[in-house]
Structure 1
Amino acid sequence: MSDLPVLGAAMCVKHLPQHREWLLELPRDLELQDFYNWKLLDNGCDDLIAEAKKLLDGHEGRLGLHGPFYNMDLSAADPLFQQAVRKRLDQGIELCAKMGADQMVLHSPYTIWDHNNLDIYDNGRQMKLEMIHANLKDVVAKAEDMGCVIVLENIEDLDPSYRMDILKSFDSEALALSIDTGHAHYMHSCYGAPPVDYFIKSAGNTLQHVHIQDIDGYADRHWNPGEGSIPWEPLFAELAKLTSNPRLILEIMDETTLRKGADYLVGLGVAR
């Protein structure tokens, strides 16, 4: 049997019928992306959950959800905004329980501004960590009880170690790292962040999730691998050194075309 990693994908429930055969041919990991939507969160999504479970009958890969992310600052300090953030986080983790998902993706709270300005202030980094704790502590506790893992995805992160500070401060098996290859390459190309393979090196075995998407170095394109400028073979060489078995999730803007990106990586001989 090949020891190459198995590719998975992120998609909405409506695209499951198109990709069902591919998802079931190997134990491919899946990330459902409908459940960040505040309309679903507030108005109920039992019908969508039932539809997803029906379509996933026989699926043997791991299942995760993308958590809420619009206007979701995990370091919110204003109590009114904290209330909204905590409510959305709780709704997200409850949906993981309903779907039987054991991973939820959340966005990093660190910004480009933070990179150059946090250290101006006495205890600036610590104060930000305290706000992150205030907003995350309840959902992390729920995730621990459920056996679910929250993975923090890089967004504007210029320093890949910042999210590691969050993990160290919680010291919880329910919190791990995610890397979005396109986000990392965007920060590298436009703002001088380290290249993508350095993000992987920095995460090491705390890495449990990867969003695989290609970009041109200018914008967050979410193109298929091979359509942008990310060097994929060095990236997969770093992934091969890990023992944490991160989920390798194709996250493509046009989900109907994701097999093209999968086939490209298979053709490079880095995945299956």
Structure 2
Amino acid sequence: MTHPLPTIGAALLIDDLETLAPWLIDGQRDVEIQDFISPKRLDGDWQVQVERARTLLDGHTGRLGMHGPFMGFSIATPDPAIREAVKLRLRRGLDIAVALGATQMVVHSPYTTWSYNNLDKDAGARTRMIEYGHATMGDAVKQAEDHGITLVIENIEDKDPTDRLHLANSFNSDAVAVSIDTGHAHYAHGTTNAPPVDYFVTAAGDRLAHIHVQDADGYADRHWRPGMGTINWQAVFAAIAALPQSPHLVLELADNSQLRAGADWLITQGLAR
């Protein structure tokens, strides 16, 4: 069976829309707004930025998401005082997502390399991690459900690609799914002996709703355009093609001036349109 090529989109800042919006609108490509990662943006006059984004994306009928807050905290924090601050950050992020008209918000996995080596050492540690996740994210999940938004949990240090899948499934909600960052998975593969990137895609299966596409060297979080690193893109896109759904697919690069070049490379390779 021949699958249609996936459409490659972009994760970017609102400033980048000044030049890239026509390309995104012409192809009705997936868009992810990343300005609201910044605490300054979260605490500032975010409504003005939202209106600017909506104006620049006028005519865009493709899928729209945003990257949620993550700096300095875990979505499964065990500290009740810190938890209240995290709840506020997630609430603000979702308020912004609603105003944008986004249908996804990316959050970061709480699982680390340390987790992989230690969660099975202490009885009940895995269960407690999920309990902390519910205590921290429960209100955000309800808010997301109310507004038709999906919280997608992105791998960061994750060595076991199923850990955050178990966390997502534990909410028993369509408002929680998983995300893959290809460069993060490749870092984990090269540095911590995690499975290769395509295994992360296959493990996520029908729960995979979002992918950050970036190339890397297996050592650091490079955010290079595809073709600059050592990820096996043929294997990754074959795994994506085998999925029963089409996840949001966005380039997330360190240098957004390379977004079009990154997309063109994937297109030339026959992996995307």
Displacement of 1:80 after TM fit? 1.4
Q: Does 1:104 align with 2:105?
A: yes
For residues 120 and 217 of structure 1, the distance between their equivalents in structure 2, rounded to whole angstroms, comes to 27
How far apart are residue 154 of structure 1 and its match? 0.2
Partner of 2:27: 26
For 1:139-169, what per-residue CA distance to the aligned partner results, in whole angstroms no more than 9, with x for missing partners?
Answer: 0001011010000000000000101111221
Report what 1:222 is aligned to.
223
Deviations 1:77-97 (A, max 9, x none): 111111111110000011111
Q: Which amino acid aligns with 1:67?
A: G
Number of the residue aligned with 1:168: 169
**1:150 equivalent in structure 2:** 151
Please show how residues 1-272 of structure 1 align to structure 2 within 5 Å.
3-272=4-273
Q: CA deviation at 1:189?
A: 0.2
Q: In 2, distance between residues paired with 1:95 and 1:72? A: 19
1:237-271 Cα offsets, whole Å, 9 max, x none, are: 01001122101110010011111110000011010
Letter paired with 1:103: Q
Tell me, in whole angstroms, the C-alpha distance in 1 between the residues paired with 2:11 and 2:77. 28
AA paired with 1:259? R
Partner SS, residue 86 of structure 2: helix
Measured after TM superposition, the shift of residue 72 of structure 1 is: 2.0
Asked if structure 2 preserves the Cα contact closer than 8 Å seen for 1:18 and 1:256, the reply is no
TM-score using structure 1 length: 0.98
Aligned structure 1 segments of 4 or more residues deviating by more than 3 angstroms: none
Structure 1 unmatched runs, 5+: none
CA RMSD of aligned residues (A): 0.9
> SS at 2:177's partner residue?
strand
Identity percentage of aligned residues:
49
CA distance in 1 between counterparts of 2:54 and 2:145 reads 23
* Structure 2 residues without counterparts, runs of 5 or longer: none
Q: Distance in 2 between matches of 1:244 and 1:166?
A: 20
Indicate the SS of the match to 1:35: helix
Using the size of structure 2 for normalisation, the TM-score is 0.98
Structure-2 separation of matches of 1:239 and 1:257: 23
Count how many residue pairs are aligned between Structure 1 and Structure 2.
Answer: 271
Secondary structure at 1:119 match in 2: coil
